Amino acid sequence: MILDDIMRRTEKRVARLPASFPEKNPRTCASLTNAIRNSNGKNAVIAEIKCSSPSHGIIRRNVDMAMMAGVLVRGGCVALSVLTEPYFFGGTGQDIFRVKTAVSVPVLRKDFIIDERQIAESQAIGADAVLLIAALLGSRLTGFVDLAKDYGLEPLVEVHNAADVELTLATGATLIGINNRDLNTLTIDRSTTRRLSGSIRSAGRMIISESGMRSADDVREMKPYCDAFLIGSSIMSDNYPQKKLKEFVCA
């Protein structure tokens, strides 16, 4: 399965990380939560910069990260998600730095976080928030959520099923992303957000629907079940990404 391949590569990457990173600096991270809340009546969209993916292959070639970040901010996104996984998504940690130097919106580091050193690395490369996947971390999730907060990072915990939700609601995570894509089969089912949103809403957490938004109609369909959207491939593959993003923001 593709997830197994990704994890094998991730484990090799993590093994090469230094034992420590520079001491935590005093910078104040931009708040992803506040950015979503202050979307001024428009749809809160986290636009994702990614060059490729296992499901789509090459999405966009020769991406200038700083330039693309500016394009997407002008398109109305409340925040940016940056893929830093190199082998399957064509990213690098330096992409976070390039984006942060170009824009002031919150920047989420999206990767496969399985080691505490990756949290320290995320803070060191300038991320404001970090993705934590419940299914990968299991019983270690609470510790990773707390560690991210210790580093001044907002944890966005990604869930795929009811068991993930139960695990995540036992942590202090405010932001919960419901991924409509099955990580094992790569198939998309937007009803995942509909099925899982109720218990998350009841717990007073913020919901971000991830994956599967291809049109403004998709966003309108899912708006009752979430507070924000994380959209990547549909924007990055479009000839006019700023215009495409505006369609989602204004749907």
Quick one: average pLDDT of 88-108?
95
Assigned domain for 15 exists: no
Count of domains for the chain = 1
Rg of the chain (C-alpha set): 17
Active-site residue, 110 included: yes
Whether 57 and 236 have beta carbons less than 8 Å apart is answered as: no
Which one of 85, 154, 210, 247 is the catalytic residue?
A: 210
Assigned domain for 82 exists: yes
Assigned domain for 23 exists: no
Which one of 110, 122, 244, 247 is the catalytic residue?
A: 110
The model's pTM is 0.95
What does the pLDDT read at residue 56?
A: 84
Active-site residue, 179 included: yes
Which one of 43, 52, 53, 179 is the catalytic residue?
A: 179
Residue-wise pLDDT for 182-204, tens only, equals 887 888 999 999 999 999 999 99
Active-site residue, 158 included: yes
Ramachandran angles phi, psi of 206, nearest 5°: -95, 135
Which one of 50, 100, 244, 246 is the catalytic residue?
A: 50
Assigned domain for 230 exists: yes
Assigned domain for 22 exists: no
CATH number of the domain enclosing 196? 3.20.20.70
CA distance 197 to 106: 24
Residue-wise pLDDT for 199-231, tens only, equals 999 999 999 999 999 999 999 999 999 999 999
DSSP-derived letter for residue 188 is B
Residue-wise pLDDT for 37-59, tens only, equals 999 899 999 999 998 988 888 88
Among 206, 217, 150, 207, residue whose Cα is nearest residue 180? 207
What does the pLDDT read at residue 189?
A: 93
Assigned domain for 117 exists: yes
CA distance 99 to 101: 5
Which residue range forms the structural domain that includes residue 68? 29-249
Active-site residue, 211 included: yes
Assigned domain for 64 exists: yes
